[in-house]
């Protein structure tokens, strides 16, 4: 009888083994292990930043459209503002971008009727200057965000940058502080974050400099700005140029070594695309962002040895422009009032989720990030005269910004991987090849016993059943489940049809140390629950 029982158990074990072998042949079974003691760093809210540039219809016809029945008394589009608020924009970069390198802020303040129109040379438009510093600050207040200004390090002077800081941050007394008051803005704005130019490593930048000349100018500009407003935080223009004849590491090396005592952040930019229509290559592109983060992290660590920073934090990384951008990149689509109007699909949304996972996985060093841009211009929100819709990329950003906070955890992810071919990540850039790309791309945050897992299933057609194990404590109660997905990776949203959006799914029962969840193909899932 006993023997029989053993045999029966053996048969059952054999059966289970064959089932699990069958499963691994037909579909992988993955594992995510959570250990709340394995922390990476605090997620800074400023990674959920955005960007408003005077480019195409980002400002005019985007956030600002005086005279439109859809706008309020300040000329702000109410429908757009509501969508912007949904993104919890923690930080808004302004006014450029390439635009800033020939922007003279005095053109955009004072009575509207006296503002001078200018040729906008970066993106070939007429800049009316009807929207400027004070209009932007009104907008920032209305959406409850924090401003992040860039000064003109191209055609601008160190004196012009100093005067802008005085206009914005000095309460009273000197000429530019009094000018702000005369313009009707009694209280200073106390703008804390300022970047020393934009993409100064790029030959396309108006007033482009070599690294040594940039550092000299940035150092002197920083000096005057800090003497005017001592509490400000400064961001150096790091690498944006990854074309074959550029040397981004040399640029960053010089910037970090020359400005290591001066700046608080180094700005990096990345745009990726799928011009060859290769889904798996494209889905791996956030890993390039992670590799570049690693390289710059090493450079920062080296320079921080022996830096003379007093009690200030070490230099952090600001990915202050990131996104998918490759369709609206012909000479025609980069000019005029309809410039850079990229229409996004589901695979783009998955790549954006991948970027956000990278920022969280590197939360100890990436303390700022700005999706480029906010409205119409490579943006999550798209308008017409009659209305707006939320593009696919809106939804992962919204889910992260609303849920992923606290401490970033170093979770173990055990799943199948794939290798890519050699490919271009963006137009004009050098090529890359990625090995061992995990099908599951994961980040985790933990705060007050709440755990949030952000998971992209990169697999095009396989659902991935995953054991999620808690190694420190037990799951406690149901998990909320949100999913961004669609019928097809090429699905786009449009006016009246937001097919790709975040959908709240049935809650997941979670008791004990193990939960099982099946991540659908080509999806982004956010799981939120508790650990006791
Ligand atoms: O975001 C669009 C443009 O991309 C910005 O103006 C510039 O900084 C970058 O090249």
What is residue 24's predicted lDDT score, i.e. its pLDDT?
Answer: 42
Instruction: Please choose from 52, 53, 393 the residue to mutate so as to test ligand 1's pocket, defined by most ligand atoms within 8 A of CB.
Output: 53
What is residue 426's predicted lDDT score, i.e. its pLDDT?
Answer: 85
Report yes or no: 478 and 510 within 8 Å, Cβ to Cβ.
yes
Atom of ligand 1 nearest to the CA of 99: 6
| Separation between Cα atoms, residue 49 and residue 181, nearest integer Å | 29
Instruction: Please choose from 123, 152, 199, 270 the residue to mutate so as to test ligand 1's pocket, defined by most ligand atoms within 8 A of CB.
Output: 199
What is the number of residues in the chain? 532
Phi-psi map region of 404: left, alpha, beta (phi>0 left; psi -120 to 50 alpha): beta
Largest CA distance in the chain: 100
Indicate whether residue 342 lines ligand 1 (CB < 6 A).
no
Atom of ligand 1 nearest to the CA of 240: 10
| Separation between Cα atoms, residue 157 and residue 266, nearest integer Å | 21
What is residue 4's predicted lDDT score, i.e. its pLDDT?
Answer: 35
What is residue 18's predicted lDDT score, i.e. its pLDDT?
Answer: 39
Report yes or no: 225 and 217 within 8 Å, Cβ to Cβ.
no
Q: Whose CA is nearest to atom 2 of ligand 1?
A: 97
Residues of the chain where predicted confidence (pLDDT) is lower than 70: 1-26
Indicate whether residue 53 lines ligand 1 (CB < 6 A).
yes
Q: Whose CA is nearest to atom 6 of ligand 1?
A: 97
Condensed to tens digits (0 to 9), the pLDDT of residues 39-64 reads 999 999 999 999 999 999 999 999 99
| Separation between Cα atoms, residue 275 and residue 116, nearest integer Å | 40
Phi-psi map region of 32: left, alpha, beta (phi>0 left; psi -120 to 50 alpha): beta
Rounded to the nearest whole angstrom, what is the distance from the C-alpha of residue 159 to the centroid of ligand 1?
25
Residues with catalytic annotation? 199, 321
Indicate whether residue 373 lines ligand 1 (CB < 6 A).
yes
| Separation between Cα atoms, residue 388 and residue 382, nearest integer Å | 5
| Separation between Cα atoms, residue 180 and residue 175, nearest integer Å | 9
Indicate whether residue 221 lines ligand 1 (CB < 6 A).
no
Rounded to the nearest whole angstrom, what is the distance from the C-alpha of residue 98 to the centroid of ligand 1?
6
| Separation between Cα atoms, residue 452 and residue 466, nearest integer Å | 16
Burial (CB < 10 A; 0-12, 13-18, 19+), residue 220, is: middle
Give the number of C-alpha atoms closer than 13 A to the C-alpha of residue 455, restricted to the C-beta side. 32
Distances (CA, A) of 448 to 11, 451, 454: 46, 8, 18
What is residue 427's predicted lDDT score, i.e. its pLDDT?
Answer: 78
Rounded to the nearest whole angstrom, what is the distance from the C-alpha of residue 243 to the centroid of ligand 1?
15
Rounded to the nearest whole angstrom, what is the distance from the C-alpha of residue 459 to the centroid of ligand 1?
31
What is the distance of C-alpha 185 from the center of its chain?
31
Condensed to tens digits (0 to 9), the pLDDT of residues 438-465 reads 999 999 999 999 999 999 999 999 999 9
Condensed to tens digits (0 to 9), the pLDDT of residues 286-327 reads 999 999 999 999 999 999 998 999 999 999 999 999 999 999
What is residue 378's predicted lDDT score, i.e. its pLDDT?
Answer: 98
Indicate whether residue 372 lines ligand 1 (CB < 6 A).
yes
Report yes or no: 351 and 396 within 8 Å, Cβ to Cβ.
no
Helix (H, G, I), strand (E, B) or coil at 312: coil
Rounded to the nearest whole angstrom, what is the distance from the C-alpha of residue 341 to the centroid of ligand 1?
13
Structure tokens at 105: 């802020």
Q: Which pTM was predicted?
A: 0.94
Q: Whose CA is nearest to atom 8 of ligand 1?
A: 97
What is residue 26's predicted lDDT score, i.e. its pLDDT?
Answer: 53
Report yes or no: 378 and 323 within 8 Å, Cβ to Cβ.
yes
């Amino acid at each position: 009888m006993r023997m029989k029982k053993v045999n029966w158990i053996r048969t059952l074990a054999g059966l289970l083994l064959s089932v699990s072998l069958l499963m691994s042949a037909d579909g992988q079974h993955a594992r995510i292990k959570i250990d709340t003691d394995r922390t990476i760093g605090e997620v800074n809210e400023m990674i959920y930043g955005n960007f408003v540039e005077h480019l195409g219809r980002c400002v005019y016809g985007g956030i600002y459209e005086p005279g439109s029945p859809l706008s309020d008394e300040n000329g702000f589009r109410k429908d757009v503002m509501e969508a912007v608020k949904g993104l919890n924009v923690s930080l808004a970069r302004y006014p450029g971008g390439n635009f800033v390198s020939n922007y003279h802020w005095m053109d955009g303040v004072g009575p509207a009727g006296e503002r001078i129109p200018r040729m906008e040379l970066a993106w070939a438009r007429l800049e009316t200057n009807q929207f400027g510093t004070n209009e932007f600050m009104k907008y920032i207040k209305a959406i409850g965000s924090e401003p992040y200004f860039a000064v003109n390090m191209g055609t601008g002077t160190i004196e012009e940058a100093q005067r802008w800081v005085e206009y914005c941050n000095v309460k009273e007394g000197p000429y530019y502080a009094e000018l702000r008051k005369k313009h009707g803005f009694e209280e200073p704005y106390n703008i804390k974050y300022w970047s020393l130019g934009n993409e100064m490593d790029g030959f396309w930048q108006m007033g482009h400099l070599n690294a040594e000349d940039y550092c000299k100018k940035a150092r002197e500009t920083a000096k005057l700005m800090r003497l005017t407003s001592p509490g400000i935080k400064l961001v150096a223009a790091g690498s944006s140029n990854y074309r074959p004849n550029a040397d981004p590491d040399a640029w960053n090396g010089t910037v970090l070594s020359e400005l290591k005592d001066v700046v608080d952040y180094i700005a990096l930019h990345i745009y990726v695309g799928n011009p060859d229509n290769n889904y798996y290559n494209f889905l791996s592109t956030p890993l390039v962002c992670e590799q570049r983060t690693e390289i710059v992290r090493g450079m920062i660590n080296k320079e921080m040895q022996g830096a003379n920073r007093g009690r200030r934090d070490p230099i952090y990384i600001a990915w202050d422009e990131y996104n998918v951008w490759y369709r609206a990149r012909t000479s025609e689509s980069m000019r005029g009032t309809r410039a850079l109007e990229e229409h996004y699909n589901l695979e783009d949304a998955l790549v954006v989720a991948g970027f956000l996972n990278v920022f969280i996985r590197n939360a100890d060093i990436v303390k700022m990030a700005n999706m480029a841009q906010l409205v119409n211009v490579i943006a999550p929100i798209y308008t017409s005269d009659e209305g707006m819709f939320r593009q696919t990329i809106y939804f992962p950003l919204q889910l992260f910004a609303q849920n992923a906070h606290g401490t970033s955890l170093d979770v173990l992810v055990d799943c199948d991987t794939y290798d890519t071919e050699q490919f271009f990540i963006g137009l004009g850039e050098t090529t890359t090849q990625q090995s061992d790309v995990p099908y599951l791309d994961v980040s985790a945050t933990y705060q007050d016993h709440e755990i949030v897992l952000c998971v992209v299933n990169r697999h095009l057609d396989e659902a991935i059943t995953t054991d999620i194990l808690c190694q420190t404590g037990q799951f406690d109660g149901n998990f909320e489940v949100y999913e961004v997905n669609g019928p097809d990776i090429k699905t786009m949203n449009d006016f009246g049809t937001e097919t790709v959006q975040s959908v709240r799914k049935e809650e997941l029962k979670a008791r004990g140390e193990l939960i099982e969840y099946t991540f659908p193909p080509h999806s982004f899932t956010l799981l939120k629950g508790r650990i006791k």
